[in-house]
Copies of this chain bind each other. A is one copy, B any other.
Amino acid sequence: MEMMFLWPGRTRNEKLRALQKEYLEKISRFCRAKIVESEEPRGLGEKWADNILEKEGKGLEKHLEDGYIICLSDKGKEMTSAELARLIESQALISARKLIFLVGGFLGLAPRIMDRANYKLPLSRMTLSHELARVVLLGQVY
């Protein structure tokens, strides 16, 4: 089983970056896993939200291939840790496809990227910052 954790751009908070690395190392003991931080547009202010999402989308698409995509989302049905573990196990059993966990940037994800999700997964009813959500996801998969 192969896993990819994919998001647009570098996680900026140094401590959260360090935690990402720590959890990835733990996950890597059990399967092939990597973090991919795809291209992000530079120098666009928040008022260019659509342009940012569009450019991030293009960067993400290069990595989506034919994986099974689990996309963090504020919509969808929350899972328990056991349910997530079962989803991961069942994917590993029925298919050789890479499992791609996708987390958006501070603006979320372009709708056409979200539409490619095989599963939309909210981590919580609360809104977590996108960088913290990445770490919670990694901790959860571990």
Contact = CB atoms under 8 A, between A and B. Distances in A.
Contact of A128 (B16, B78, B125, B139): B139
Contacts of A107: none
B78 A125 contact: yes
Q: Residue among A15, A19, A78 with the most chain B CB within 10 A?
A: A15
A134 to B, nearest CB: 12
A28 B78 CA distance: 32
A16 B128 CA distance: 16
Contacts of A125: 78-80, 124
A82 to B, nearest CB: 9
Contacts of A80: 125-127
A78 B124 CA distance: 8
Contacts of A129: 139
Contacts of A128: 136, 139-140
A103 interface: no
7 contacts: A15-B15, A78-B126, A80-B126, A80-B127, A126-B140, A128-B136, A129-B139
Given A124-B125, A132-B139, 19 more contacts: A15-B18, A15-B22, A16-B19, A19-B19, A78-B78, A78-B125, A79-B126, A80-B126, A80-B127, A123-B124, A123-B126, A124-B124, A124-B136, A128-B136, A128-B139, A128-B140, A132-B135, A132-B136, A136-B136
